[in-house]
Structure 1
Amino acid sequence: MELDIREIITVGMVLFAVIDIVGSIPIIVDLRSKFGHIESEKASLASGFIMIVFLFVGEELLKLIGIDVNSFAVAGSFVLFFLALEMILGIRIYRDEEASSASIVPLAFPLIAGAGTMTTLLSLKSQFHTVNIIIAIILNILLVYIVLKSSSKIERMLGKDGLGVVRKTFGVVLLAIAVKLFAANVKGLFV
């Protein structure tokens, strides 16, 4: 067991940027107005469960399909790259279907534990120890829960401009991480 605070912080920041729960506050507020009450506990637990299960089963699933972790990590770096561009430039590349319920779909999946998060988890697994990733997931789920519980307060406190600054800042961090992830795994494709 390789417990490493630096790894936990790095993975935690990557997941925080990918999940982008603060940037999702406008979406959360919109969902609350459409569906009334959002079950923060249910959404947090479901997304945490999805992420941890995928962390363990995802690689086996890839092997079943015939894809190696390096290929998935490089693909993941592209997903992160485009997510970062969305955050920085304020454009929408990926479009989701309209929601019919709020707590599990689309909140837990795909908003919190979506394709970007899944790709990121397997990409991170190729570079970091599993125990540190699990701790980072749990810390992020706690943060997600806090944000879901207090989303209207945070929205009022930060305002539209504040949310924009937070989103763009994490977009730049995510872009740098995408480049690093690509560079670290692209060599493995040609071995």
Structure 2
Amino acid sequence: MNILETSRLILRTWQEADLDPMALIDQDKKVCQFLPGIGSRSATKAGIERIVAHYKEKGFSLYAVELKSTGEMIGFLGLMTPSFEAHFTPAVEIGWRLSSTHWNQGYATEGAKAVLHYAFTSLNLPEVVSFTVVNNLASRRVMEKIGLQHNTKDDFDHPKLEPNSPLRRHVLYRLSRADYLNNKGIQA
């Protein structure tokens, strides 16, 4: 079922046929660089099952992203609730993971703008957050392009990562519904 459409993308619920392309995306070393624990087909399958369960429980999730022009499934993008406790939880996170062959083409920004619009105007969420590893500059640029704000006081050590992990330190970006509706956010 299609959830959102942009000029170039369809964001939809997951299909059985999505496992193989998503597993290939998760095995790409460029994609895995900042994401520990992915890379195997079984991990991808478990991740998709968690996403589908989240959708059934909450009514929103990370959606499969398909190119309108070709029908190719190129990753996921959408909303999830973090599965850990931190100073900013409970929260709803916007996130994405796209095939590296589709990076630097504006797809993440385009899809994320549509998801933010949906989050604030259809779901009426009070706030959306996003977080990533400090050095994941590409994702941070997307967060900034869609209007999320970073405050260094919000940065945190990810509780699901080992204390000595170089990926443990995360930056947190936020956008409130009020700021979005007051045009401080970048609208779809």
TM-score (norm 2): 0.29
**Would you tell me which structure has more strand in proportion to its own residues?**
2
TM-score (norm 1): 0.28
Which structure has more RCO (C-alpha within 8 Å, separation ≥ 6)? 1
**Would you tell me which structure has more helix in proportion to its own residues?**
1
